[in-house]
């Protein structure tokens, strides 16, 4: 099961001190805490600019499914990752989102190859 970021200060820490990766369907922020952890933690954000509740929930579900499959290949256990959905994410399939985010994580050196 994925561990999540739950407190607002955790999201702020990742936004302010972390690094940003622009993906086609999401913006990914990550921060290495430097502490030994029992695994990476994740947060998912979908703003009201995406549309109504149905579209926002679909976007969050797509991102959670994507990070759930990708998390097994992450190299570091001390990562905090926040994914912010971009417009257009609700019109595509999960495989496209996963391929895009996985490729960006691999390029950044955070994720092992398939």
Q: Mean pLDDT throughout 84-102?
A: 92
Number of domains in the chain: 1
Position 114 scores a pLDDT of 60
- pLDDT tens for 10-66 read 999 999 999 999 999 999 999 998 876 778 899 999 999 999 999 999 999 999 999
In-domain check, residue 84: yes
Position 15 scores a pLDDT of 96
In-domain check, residue 112: no
Q: Write the CATH number for 95.
A: 3.30.230.10
Q: Is the pLDDT of residue 6 over 80?
A: yes
Sequence-distant (6+) residues with CB within 8 A of 5 are 11, 14, 41, 42, 43, 80, 82
Q: CA 57 to CA 15: how far, in whole Å?
A: 22
Position 77 scores a pLDDT of 83
In-domain check, residue 114: no
């Amino acid at each position: 099961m994925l561990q999540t970021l739950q407190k607002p200060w955790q999201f702020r820490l990742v936004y302010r001190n972390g690094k940003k990766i622009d993906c086609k369907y999401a913006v990914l922020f990550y921060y290495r805490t430097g502490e030994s952890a029992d695994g990476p933690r994740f947060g998912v954000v979908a703003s009201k600019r995406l549309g109504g509740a149905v579209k926002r929930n679909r976007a969050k579900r797509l991102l959670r499914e994507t990070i759930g499959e990708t998390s097994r290949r992450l190299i570091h256990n001390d990562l905090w990752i926040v994914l912010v959905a971009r417009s257009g994410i609700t019109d595509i399939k999960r495989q496209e989102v996963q391929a895009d985010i996985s490729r960006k994580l691999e390029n950044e050196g955070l994720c092992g190859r398939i």
